């Protein structure tokens, strides 16, 4: 399979991975033919990339971080719980909040997430849910949970620690259920007053979680602190350095990454290597360098199936990723430097050809 921008797709090509709607139902099945009208509809739905069937890369299989059963159960729980909270009016006082079922329900979900991720020692962070039209908040919550849990495993956390981190990640944006969709989904820049309202989601989330059974206080602090930055430039309290909880720092990194690599109402998704470059501009100021380094080593910045051009001018597709060196994948060259399609493609392992670099992606 091959990963293409929706703008690079031509009518007549076929899907290699199904596209699901916001109820988890199949919108387009595998092998469905993409027509001009379908491509326009997918673009309107916020689908920026699709996996397509391609005889030159039919052996390329993109692994899933979670099993279909776990993902479906997690998204069902997130949708049902978050939608119920969205229907409740914004409350001003803690005594009006009471969500005793959250901890119990989400612990069950998180246990399956931890089991799935722990079973794949070399699991890499890939572009996830790009074939979904789900509400951004729902997809984002699960993505951040997966990424943070994977980093916790890489960092050697115990299962109890992973549960605390994972719950904090899964519920880090729960306060946004109390923010108007007019602000959450606004297709343009927020005004000063709208941004002030948006920032309240950190405080609201903490208030909603801090006294609930089965939710550790540290998980509640993840909702409170995930927008804090180590130089004190974050919100809501402008905390610095070690005053920010370690779990919240991990979530701050992956929250920013997923926000950049997901489609938003006001811009298209960025590719992983672009998002990573932006994150690294904040190394030592916004984010801890050691955390960025751990994250970098777990991210497939050049996703399987993505088109790339090398500094030699050759064009090809990423077909394998080295878990120990994800920045130097194996590229199957399909076109010569003069753009001639090769009758006999060949592969180049960038981990052994250090004089070669990827100069263009997509």
Comparing 77-91, 191-205, 315-329, the range with the smallest average pLDDT is 77-91
Mean pLDDT of 257-262: 91
- Residues 66-113: tens digit of each pLDDT: 888 998 899 999 999 999 898 876 554 444 556 667 788 899 899 999
The CATH number of 68-296 is 1.10.3210.10
Q: Does residue 328 have a pLDDT over 90?
A: yes
Give the pLDDT band of residue 334 (cuts 50, 70, 90): very high
Mean pLDDT of 138-150: 94
pLDDT of residue 93: 43
Choose from 73-87, 108-122, 183-197, 303-317 the range with maximum mean pLDDT.
303-317
Comparing 70-84, 88-102, 296-310, 342-356, the range with the smallest average pLDDT is 88-102
The full 3-state SS of the chain, as one line of letters, equals CEEEEHHHCCCCCEECCCEECCCCCEEECCCCECCHHHHHHHHHCCCCEEEECCHHHCCCCCCCCCCHHHHHHHHHHHHHHHHHHHCCCCCCCHHHCCCCHHHHHHHHHHHHHHHHHHCCCCCCECCCCCCECCCHHHHHHHHHHHHHHHHHHHCCCCHHHHHHHHHHHHCCCHHHHHCCHHHHCCCCCCCHHHHHHHHCHHHHHHHHHCCCCCCCHHHHHHHHHCCCCCECCCCCCCCEHHHCCHHHHHHHHHHHHHHHHCCECCECCCCHHHHHHHHHCCECCCECHHHHHHHHCCECCCCCCEEEEECCCCEEEEEEEECCEEEEEEEEEEECCCCCEEEEEEEEECCCCCCCCEEEEC
pLDDT of residue 186: 85
Mean pLDDT of the chain: 90
Where do the CATH 1.10.3210.10 domains begin and end in the chain? 68-296
Where do the CATH 3.90.105.10 domains begin and end in the chain? 2-57
- Residues 217-228: tens digit of each pLDDT: 999 999 999 999
Mean pLDDT of 293-313: 93
Q: Tell me, which fold does domain 2-57 have in CATH?
A: Molybdopterin biosynthesis moea protein, domain 2 (3.90.105)
Mean pLDDT of 162-181: 95
- Residues 18-64: tens digit of each pLDDT: 888 766 678 889 999 999 999 998 888 878 888 999 999 999 988 88
Mean pLDDT of 124-129: 70
> Is this model's pTM higher than 0.95 or not?
no
Residue of 275 and 268 predicted with greater confidence: 275
pLDDT of residue 265: 63
């Amino acid at each position: 399979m091959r990963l293409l921008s929706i703008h690079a797709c031509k009518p007549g090509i076929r899907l290699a991975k199904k596209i699901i709607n916001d109820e988890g139902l199949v919108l387009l099945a595998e092998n469905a033919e993409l027509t001009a009208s379908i491509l326009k509809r997918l673009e309107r739905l916020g689908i920026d990339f699709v996996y397509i069937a391609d005889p030159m890369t039919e052996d390329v299989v993109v692994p899933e971080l979670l099993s279909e059963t776990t993902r479906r159960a997690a998204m069902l729980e997130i949708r049902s719980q978050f939608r119920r909270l969205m229907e409740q009016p914004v409350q001003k006082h803690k005594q009006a909040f009471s969500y005793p079922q959250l901890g119990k329900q989400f612990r069950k979900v998180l246990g399956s997430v931890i089991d799935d991720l722990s079973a794949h020692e070399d699991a890499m962070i890939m572009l996830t849910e790009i074939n979904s039209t789900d509400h951004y908040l729902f997809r984002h919550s699960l993505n951040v949970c997966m990424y943070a849990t994977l980093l916790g495993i890489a960092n050697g956390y115990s299962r109890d620690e992973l549960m605390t981190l994972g719950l904090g990640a899964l519920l880090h944006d729960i306060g946004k259920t109390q923010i108007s969709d007019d602000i959450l989904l606004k297709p343009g820049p927020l005004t000063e007053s709208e941004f002030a309202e948006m920032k309240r989601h950190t405080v609201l989330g903490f208030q909603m979680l801090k006294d609930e059974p089965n939710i550790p206080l540290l998980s509640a602090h993840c909702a409170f602190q995930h927008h804090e930055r180590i130089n004190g430039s974050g919100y809501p309290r402008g905390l610095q350095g070690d005053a920010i909880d370690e779990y919240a720092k991990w979530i701050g990194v992956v929250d920013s990454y997923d926000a950049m690599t997901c489609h938003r109402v006001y811009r298209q998704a960025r590719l992983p290597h672009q998002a990573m470059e932006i994150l690294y501009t904040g190394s030592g100021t916004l984010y801890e360098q050691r955390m960025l380094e751990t994250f970098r080593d777990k991210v497939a910045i050049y996703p399987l199936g993505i088109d790339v051009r090398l500094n030699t001018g050759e064009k090809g597709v990423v077909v394998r990723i080295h878990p120990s060196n994800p920045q130097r994948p194996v590229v199957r060259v399909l076109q010569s430097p003069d753009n001639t399609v090769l009758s006999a493609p060949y592969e180049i392992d960038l981990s052994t050809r250090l004089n070669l670099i990827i100069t263009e992606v997509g």
